[in-house]
Amino acid sequence: MLTKAPRGTKDVTPDNVYKWQYVEDTIRALCKCFGYKEIRVPVFEHTELYERGVGDTTDVVQKEMYTFNDKGGRSVTLRPEGTAGVVRAFIENNLYAESAPSKLYYILSCYRYEKPQAGRLREFNQFGVEAFGAYSPETDAEIISLAMTLLSRLKLADLGLYINSVGCPECRQAYNQKLRAYFSDYVDQLCETCLTRLEKNPMRIIDCKNKTCKKIGEGAPSLLGEQCGKCGEHFDEVKHILQEIGIPYDIDPTIVRGLDYYTTTVFEIKSGNMVVCGGGRYNNLVEELGGPPTAGIGFGLGMERIIMVLEEKNLFPEKPSGCDLYIASIGDNAHKAAQKLVHGLRQSGIAAEGDLMRRSVKAQMKYADKIGAKYVIVLGDDEISSGEAKAKHMQTGEQAPVKLNTLTDDLSKLGNL
């Protein structure tokens, strides 16, 4: 149907868009405090970028990507996540040649073909941050601090931080052997996808969404006791810094995240039982995609999911008014004068509205109330002749005289503009 949006997509109407703007404004203000700068990348990339970057054993690449051939026969994919595209931009634009660390953030749309459910759509929006060039555990702590601070500023109180370390490729070799031995006892119960992962990347089985595989994965050996000394020291220092800056955490050895590029630190933040943010380190991804050896770490936060949580907890501020002043008019002369006044007010930065429907004064007042106008002026022949009118505060009913030739200044003195 032409009047029905595709499954897994959702409109954001004017009545609700202020919620998105509230979250986005909070994000931008916080990123400025932390020194992160915005980056914008294309909505589609060459398919190989995601196959190499995200990993061909992940659910995202195996089951969820929107991939197609363009008119030139090239395989392209709508971005399923933000990190790979940002890493590609980091390399292509030689951002690694600038002073390190390079600290970036983005708010963008992503696309995954999966079963729509609460807080999970096929077209969804993601806020993410990426920091390149710093291997230090202080960077891990800063990234986690940014995420926790954002959620706290949004007034979420029931937050839980869960951390783990998935080690480096070297210390994962012996661990993968143990995983293969463990999961080999369950080959008759694993899903078809996990059977293909058993030899190539058994850690992915732990992250499988299939209920049976997930249950089996809960009993898998932990990597924490198998890490090399360097990875173990890094994780210990991350924990120490989090304690020093007052961010409580729990260690969850089952967190491996759903993408192949993660190394060492990984984390998730939950509000109640819902994961609202997740991320970690990817120290080899820049090099794997053709750049110089460069450390990387970041996180992603689903905008729809966080907005849903804020709605459930009634944490959004009151919907702001979209109109500072509505000028109602009586008669043709007043209507023309009102249009001129509205134009001048808008040039001065005041959100002003006038009648576009040639309604009656009563209907205009109803409309002004419906759009949440703070003040209303009724303009007729008498007001035009005297050059004065009365501005009525729509909530209190109080009225104050204003001069039409100094309307901008007089309104500013009334406040609430």
Do residue 391 and residue 269 come from a single domain?
Answer: no
Domain boundary among 263, 286, 312: 312
Do residue 239 and residue 345 come from a single domain?
Answer: no
195 in a structural domain: no
* Each residue's pLDDT expressed in tens, for the chain with a length of 417 residues: 678 999 999 999 999 999 999 999 999 999 999 999 999 999 999 999 999 888 766 778 888 999 999 999 999 999 999 999 999 999 999 999 999 999 999 999 999 998 888 778 999 999 999 999 999 999 999 999 999 999 999 999 889 999 999 888 888 788 888 888 888 888 899 898 888 888 888 887 887 878 899 888 888 888 887 788 899 999 999 999 999 999 999 999 888 775 668 889 999 999 988 899 999 999 999 999 999 999 999 999 999 999 999 999 999 999 988 899 999 999 999 999 999 999 999 999 999 999 999 999 999 999 999 999 999 999 999 999 999 999 999 999 999 999 999 999 998 888 755
158 in a structural domain: yes
Do residue 42 and residue 121 come from a single domain?
Answer: yes
153 in a structural domain: yes
186 in a structural domain: no
Q: How high is the pLDDT of residue 157?
A: 87
Do residue 248 and residue 333 come from a single domain?
Answer: no
Do residue 96 and residue 45 come from a single domain?
Answer: yes
- CATH number of the CATH domain containing 125: 3.30.930.10
Do residue 299 and residue 338 come from a single domain?
Answer: no
184 in a structural domain: no
- CATH number of the CATH domain containing 357: 3.40.50.800
Q: Print the SS3 string covering the chain.
A: CCCCCCCCCCCCCCCCHHHHHHHHHHHHHHHHHHCCEECCCCCEEEHHHHHHHCCCCCHHHHHHCCEEECCCCCEEEECCCCHHHHHHHHHHCCHHHCCCCEEEEEEEEEECCCCCECCECCEEEEEEEEEECCCCHHHHHHHHHHHHHHHHHCCCCCEEEEEEECCCHHHHHHHHHHHHHHHHHHCCCCCHHHHHHHHHCCHHHHCCCCHHHHHHHCCCCCCCCCCCHHHHHHHHHHHHHHHHCCCCCEECCCCCCCCCCCEEEEEEEEECCEEEEEEEECCCHHHHCCCCCCCEEEEEEEHHHHHHHHHHCCCCCCCCCCCCEEEEECCHHHHHHHHHHHHHHHHCCCCEEECCCCCCHHHHHHHHHHCCCCEEEEECHHHHHHCEEEEEECCCCCEEEEEHHHHHHHHHHHCCC
Domain boundary among 312, 337, 353: 312
Q: Domain count of the chain?
A: 2
The pTM (predicted TM-score) of the whole model is 0.89
Token output for 225 = 């006791």
69 in a structural domain: yes
Query: Can you name the residues that pair with 353 across neighbouring β-strands?
Result: 326
Dist. CA 298–CA 346, nearest whole Å: 41
Do residue 130 and residue 279 come from a single domain?
Answer: yes
194 in a structural domain: no
Dist. CA 208–CA 202, nearest whole Å: 10
273 in a structural domain: yes
Domain boundary among 284, 312, 340: 312
Do residue 113 and residue 40 come from a single domain?
Answer: yes
Do residue 264 and residue 392 come from a single domain?
Answer: no
Do residue 348 and residue 305 come from a single domain?
Answer: no
Domain that holds residue 301: 17-168+228-312
Dist. CA 60–CA 257, nearest whole Å: 12
Do residue 164 and residue 237 come from a single domain?
Answer: yes
Do residue 245 and residue 365 come from a single domain?
Answer: no
